[in-house]
Amino acid sequence: MKIMKIDWYKHYAQKTGLVLDKRAFENNLKTDKPYIQLLKKYLKPNAKILECGCGLARTVLSMAHYGFRVVAIDHNKNILNVAKQSAKNLGFSRKIKFIHMNFFDIDKEFKPHLFDCITHQGVVEHYTETEIKKNLKKQLEIAPTLIFSVPLKTEFNEKKYFADYIYRNLWTQEFWLNDVLKSFNVVETKVIRQRSDNLLIVMKDS
């Protein structure tokens, strides 16, 4: 599996502030509310979660705030350093473990069912359909539950939110469910607008 050839540090630096302050954290809590509700529905309060591709740690901090034990991984060292700084500033350093690694290698680094759940938001759509399927299968070996989100093909996403040249697959909800995830055990989905129009997905191992 390949690593995304995208300089996410440069990308985020051009769009917004990198290190999160209290105000940004509180806004993220509101944005992540539907996602956190799914986590609470399917996981125990102190569940152990692996966040694949943590980015600026916006969702990671929300999960830690609600008591989940989080291990956050990302392949970009600069982004990971920013995430660590945000966690430190907001008092979450001891509640989150950050690891520099490629999330395609999780099966090499972690034992089967080591985590209660694997999460990620806005990550897998940057890969091909074949790569997505292969990686999701790997994830289900590490955790019995996957809760993640992907952006959808909507006018808002195409014309307004994703006004950049980064490679991503903006597919319809029907294509995600009837093609990409057809062979998986999808137990719940929900379409919402967070920052972008997203499809929230809950999957279980068979």
Q: Residue 111 sits in a domain of what CATH number?
A: 3.40.50.150
Question: pLDDT at position 162, please?
Answer: 87
> Which residues span the domain enclosing 116?
8-204
Helix (H) or strand (E) holding 64: helix 58-65
Q: Which residues contact 163 (CB under 8 A, 6 or more apart)?
A: none
Q: Which residues contact 177 (CB under 8 A, 6 or more apart)?
A: 186, 189
Read off the DSSP letter of residue 16. S
Residue 44 lies in a domain: yes
Residue 52 lies in a domain: yes
Residue 1 lies in a domain: no
Read off the DSSP letter of residue 4. P
Residue 2 lies in a domain: no
Token couple for 166? 């980064």
Residue 94 lies in a domain: yes
Residue 84 lies in a domain: yes
Residue 41 lies in a domain: yes
Domain count, the chain: 1
**Tens-place pLDDT, residues 134-161:** 999 999 999 999 999 999 999 999 998 8
Q: Which among 59, 57, 96, 15 is positioned nearest to 200, based on CA atoms?
A: 59
Residue 3 lies in a domain: no
Residue type, 188: E
**Tens-place pLDDT, residues 62-112:** 999 999 999 999 999 999 999 999 999 999 988 999 999 998 999 999 999
> In terms of DSSP bridges, do strands 117-121 and 96-100 run parallel, antiparallel, or are they unpaired?
unpaired
